[in-house]
Amino acid sequence: MPNGWEESAAAWIEDIGEHGDFGRQFVLDAPMLAQLEGRGFKTALDVGCGEGRFCRMLQALGVRTVGIDPTESLIEHAQERDPEGDYRVGRAEALELPDEGFDLVVSYLSLIDIPDIRRAIPEMARVLRPGGTLLIANLTSFNTAGNPPGWFNDRTGQPCFLIDYYLEERACWASWHGIRIRNWHRPLSSYMSLLLEQGLILRHFAEPAPRGGDPAKADRYRRVPYFLIMEWEKPMARSCGQLVT
């Protein structure tokens, strides 16, 4: 099934660039980096790395990073921007990587792009070493349940956001600035259940607010829950019947 990514790659690179869109630059980047700084991560896997922007941010923290993405044009751009970086074409549902190879696995706004999340999340857990961290930023399920176009004006002309069929998992198309890509709506319980089934331990959960930027844009991010951040820890191996955390 086509997903629009290859066709939208050039527009995506133009829109996201090095600074990121409003949500990345003014909502997610700071709290995502705050979860990483000073914690001694050595190796990271960025699942759905796209144009490689967050890989480069991780490397600036001294973390040796592998970025994977199924869109060849985005991987080519990432490699051009960062010739010494390690970028690979690959799918989250079948990571061609050894078990327990990374201190840190990151999914930065990529879970919504993965068709078979029930294969992808176990793969992310598989390549994470015991004691390692899975750091996720995702669109909230309230946001992805927005009945297109999501935002609309009510009878008084006031902007409102319509949510419908929240519990129904489905593919949907998002379009902006020449980009048209397929996303997936899933209720939060779908993600939480899959992560818990892997034995992962939730260590951090946040719904970050905007910090700076255009006040008019920031207001919409405050009115509707756009993003969440979760940090999950892979437990240490059992020893003598005890789970070491």
Query: CATH no. for residue 66?
Result: 3.40.50.150
* Residue 51 near residue 31, CB atoms below 8 Å: no
Which whole-number Å values give the CA distances from 2 to 95, 123, 136, 188, in the listed order? 21, 23, 25, 25
For residue 210, being part of any structural domain is answered with: yes
Instruction: Say what the pLDDT of residue 196 is.
Output: 98
For residue 49, being part of any structural domain is answered with: yes
Instruction: Say what the pLDDT of residue 240 is.
Output: 46
Instruction: Say what the pLDDT of residue 147 is.
Output: 73
Radius of gyration of the chain from its Cα atoms, rounded to whole angstroms: 18
For residue 192, being part of any structural domain is answered with: yes
Instruction: Locate 119 and state its tokens.
Output: 């294969």
For residue 104, being part of any structural domain is answered with: yes
Instruction: Say what the pLDDT of residue 18 is.
Output: 86
For residue 145, being part of any structural domain is answered with: no
Instruction: Say what the pLDDT of residue 11 is.
Output: 96
For residue 180, being part of any structural domain is answered with: no
For 142-157, what is the HEC assignment?
Answer: HHHCEEEEEEEECCCC
Closest CA to 163 of 184, 185, 183: 185
What's the total number of domains in the chain? 1
Residue 177 to residue 113: CA distance in whole angstroms? 18
Instruction: Locate 50 and state its tokens.
Output: 């796209």
Structural domain for 112, as ranges = 5-140+186-243
Which whole-number Å values give the CA distances from 175 to 4, 93, 96, 141, in the listed order? 10, 25, 31, 18
Which whole-number Å values give the CA distances from 240 to 60, 132, 237, 244, in the listed order? 40, 21, 10, 10
For residue 55, being part of any structural domain is answered with: yes
The low-confidence residues of the chain, meaning pLDDT below 50, are: 239-241
Instruction: Say what the pLDDT of residue 84 is.
Output: 95
For residue 237, being part of any structural domain is answered with: yes
